[in-house]
Amino acid sequence: MSFDLLALNPIAFNLFGLEIHWYGIIIAMGALVGVVMAMREAKRRHMDPDNILDLVLYGVPIALVGARLYYVIFELPFYLANPGEIIKIWHGGIAIYGGLIAAFVVLLVLCHKRKISPWLMLDIAAPSVLLGQIVGRWGNFMNQEAFGAKTSLDFLQSLHLPHFIIEQMYINGAYRQPTFLYESVGNLIGLILILVLRNKTHLFKRGEVFLTYLIWYPAVRFFVEGMRTDSLYIMPGIRVSQVLSLVLFVVAIGLFIYRRRNLKEPWYNEL
C-alpha cells in the first residue's frame, strides 16, 4: 500500500456542501486560546480587555489580506498570468510575516486612537501571537505543506516521532523533513521562556517582552526556513523570510540595548 493513502484527510467535514478544512479549525482554535490569554493578561495589566477584542476584530481580517498580499507580491509573475488565483487562499499561499506587518499597523492605529502605550499592547499580544504560530504550523501539517527536503524513514524514526507524523511526512513519493514541527517546537520553547520570565520582578521593562519575541521567533524562523523547499525568494539563493528574519533579529537587539541605556521605561510587572 502506498504511504500516500495513509495521509490524514485535510477536510474535517462537510457543512451544507461546504468543505471545512482542519487547517481553518486549527488556526481558529489557536486564535481563540491566544485571545483569551491576551485578555487575561490585559486585565492583569489594568487594561480594558475589550481593547484586545477590538484588535482582533480589526486586525485579523487585515492581517489575512496582508499575509496574502505579501505572498502574491513575491510570486507576482504567476498571479499576473493567473489573476483569478489571487483571491483563492484555499489553494495555499499566505505568509506569516505579511500578516504580522499588517497586524502591527492596525495595533499602532488602535493604540493611537485609544491613547494606549503601543509597547504595553505589544507586550500583551506577543505571547498570544507566538501561540498562534505554534498551533498554526499543525494546520500546515494537516495540509502536508511547509515541509523540508527529502529524508529517510530511518532518520524520522530516530527522532522518536509518533507514527502518524511519520506517515504524514510521506509526500509525493518520499519522506520529508518535518520543518513544521521544528518551528512549532522551537516557538513552544520560546513561549514557555517568555511566560516564565515576564513574571520575574525587575527583569523585563515595558516593551521587552515583545522585543524578546522579536528576537526569538526570527531566530527560529531563519534556521527552519533554510530547510524548507517552498520558500519565497528575492533572487536565486536568497530567501525572503531569512532576510526579513535577520533584519528583525538585529533591529530587535538594537532596540533592546538602546531602550535600556537611554529610556526610563517602567518595569513590565509594575502595576
Mean predicted lDDT score pLDDT of the chain: 92
Q: What pLDDT shows up at residue 10?
A: 86
What is the C-alpha to C-alpha distance for residues 68 and 87, in angstroms, rounded to an integer? Answer: 8
For the chain, the structural domain boundaries read 3-262
The CB density around residue 143, as the number of other CB atoms within 10 Å, is 18
Instruction: Report whether 91 contacts 117 (CB < 8 A).
Output: no
pTM of the model as a whole: 0.90
What is the C-alpha to C-alpha distance for residues 181 and 159, in angstroms, rounded to an integer? Answer: 11
Mean predicted confidence (pLDDT) in 153-161: 96
pLDDT at 2 over 60: no
Residue ranges of the binding site = 137
Residues 6+ apart with CB under 8 A from 227: 148, 149, 177, 179, 182
In the structure, what pLDDT confidence band is assigned to residue 86 with cuts at 50, 70 and 90? confident
